[in-house]
Amino acid sequence: MDSKSESQRTLYPYVTGSSVVAIKFKDGILMAADMGGSYGSTLRYKSVERLKPIGKHSLLGASGEISDFQEIMRYLDELILNDNMWDDGNSLGPKEVHNYLTRVMYNRRNKFNPLWNSLVLGGIKKGQKYLGTVNMIGINYEDNHVATGLGNHLARPILRDEWNENLSFEEGVRLLEKCMRVLLYRDRSAVNKIQVNFAGCSAFAGWCYGSVAFSVWHFGSAFCVRIAYFHLPALPFVSAALQLRCCGSELVLQALFCKLPFALVCITHVAD
């Protein structure tokens, strides 16, 4: 085998991400993952984003090899670009993107050159929520809540007990935070820096996508908030306040949304 062929194959995962957990809630999809990247068993990277928006309607989360996830993102960028070039007023929804990913993963498996990832794809289009998963050999299904990695064994039992279809945004975030806390305690590859993404329809802003990253426990008295941004395409002026309960403290997110592809979010730590 020549060096060029070897450089294009992932023979074994080196830098990996751990579990992704996702649920449907009343107004859309919530997805959570930690931001750690492990080099073997060493927690080498602490700010790896493994949850990404795909097109106008979908979110993607990935466990496994980070470089293979980057390759999948290149495939999806090309797919979305080609779809946009048609300019026909239609866009790929989460079900179409999930079907595409199942074909990609199964095709690479048949070539004995798999992409070493387990993927979660969720989103909402025309009011219809969709959530599915696919692993590195193409096995796929859709459900009301899904998880990858150790989350299949540790988070899914919690979700089976506590999930219901009428969960509010705040209740959904608290449920995901509980799952991620259990994974932090039980999974050696997990870190305490969490990214939570959502996609859905809400009372305050039509379809939207947002991402918040935070620590699920205290270092001394510091409550760690890393990232907070919302992607809100072509929406009127509207304000909202959301409360996320994390480790006995609350974050109050006050946002002023305007007709821009983003919104500035003011984050305040409310003491116990």
CA–CA separation, 7 and 233 (whole Å): 39
Residue 191 tokens, joined: 């870190």
133 is catalytic: no
pLDDT digits over 133-146, tens only? 999 999 999 999 99
Answer with the residue of higher pLDDT: 114 or 270: 114
pLDDT above 70 coverage of the chain, percent: 71
- β-pairing verdict for 58-65 and 51-54: antiparallel
Q: What is the pLDDT of residue 5?
A: 52
Count Cα neighbours of 223 within 13 Å in the Cβ-side half-sphere.
16
Provide the mean pLDDT of the chain. Answer: 77
As a whole number of angstroms, the distance between CA 19 and CA 25 comes to: 20
Sign of the alpha-carbon dihedral angle for 147, 205, 80, 70: negative
Count structural domains, the chain: 1
Do 108 and 56 touch, CB atoms closer than 8 A? no
> What's residue 239's pLDDT?
33
| CA distances from residue 154 to 27, 178, 179, 186, 188 in whole angstroms, order as listed | 25, 11, 8, 8, 13
127: confidence class by pLDDT, cuts 50, 70, 90:
confident
Do the domain assignments include residue 59? yes
Q: What is the pLDDT of residue 79?
A: 96
Q: Among 86-100, 106-120, 248-262, where is mean pLDDT lowest?
A: 248-262
- Can you tell me the distance from the alpha carbon of 219 to that of 228, in angstroms, rounded to the nearest whole number? 20
The residue ranking higher by pLDDT, 72 or 173, is 72
In a domain, 1, yes or no: no
Compute the distance between CA of residue 44 and CA of residue 185 in angstroms, rounded to an integer. 18
CA angle 104, 106, 112 (to 5 degrees): 105
How far, in Å, CA of 66 to CA of 81, rounded? 22
- Would residue 108 count as lying in a domain? yes
Handedness of CA 92, 151, 47, 63 (dihedral sign): negative
Answer yes or no: is 184 within a domain.
yes
Question: What CA–CA distance (Å, rounded) separates 183 from 153?
Answer: 10
Q: With a cut of 70, say whether residue 234 has pLDDT above it.
A: no
Q: What pLDDT band is residue 173 in, cutting at 50, 70 and 90? A: confident
Q: Which is more confidently placed, 237 or 121?
A: 121
> Could you tell me if residue 23 is inside a domain?
yes
pLDDT tier for residue 101 given thresholds of 50, 70 and 90: very high
| Per-residue model confidence (pLDDT) at position 259 | 31
Backbone angles phi, psi at 196, to 5 degrees: -120, 125
At 201 the pLDDT is: 61
Confidence of residue 177 (pLDDT cuts 50, 70, 90): confident
Examine the pLDDT at 16 and tell me if it is beyond 80.
yes
pLDDT of residue 27: 86
CATH (domain of 137) = 3.60.20.10
| Domain presence at residue 3 | no
Q: Is there a contact between 34 and 151 (Cβ–Cβ < 8 Å)?
A: no
Averaged over 75-91, what is the pLDDT?
Answer: 93
pTM above 0.85, yes or no: no
The residue ranking higher by pLDDT, 48 or 203, is 48
| Of 145, 261, 153, residue with least CA distance to 209 | 261
Give the mean pLDDT of 164-184: 89
At 204-225, the pLDDT tens digits run 333 444 555 555 444 332 333 3
Q: Could you give the 3-state DSSP secondary structure of residue 228?
A: strand
> Domain limits at 154?
9-270
Length of the chain: 272
pLDDT at 242 > cutoff 60: no
Count of CB atoms situated within 10 Å of the CB of 271: 7
Mean predicted confidence (pLDDT) in 6-12 = 71
Residue 32, pLDDT score: 92
Residue 4 lies in a domain: no
| pLDDT at res. 263 | 34
Whether 82 is in a domain gets the answer yes
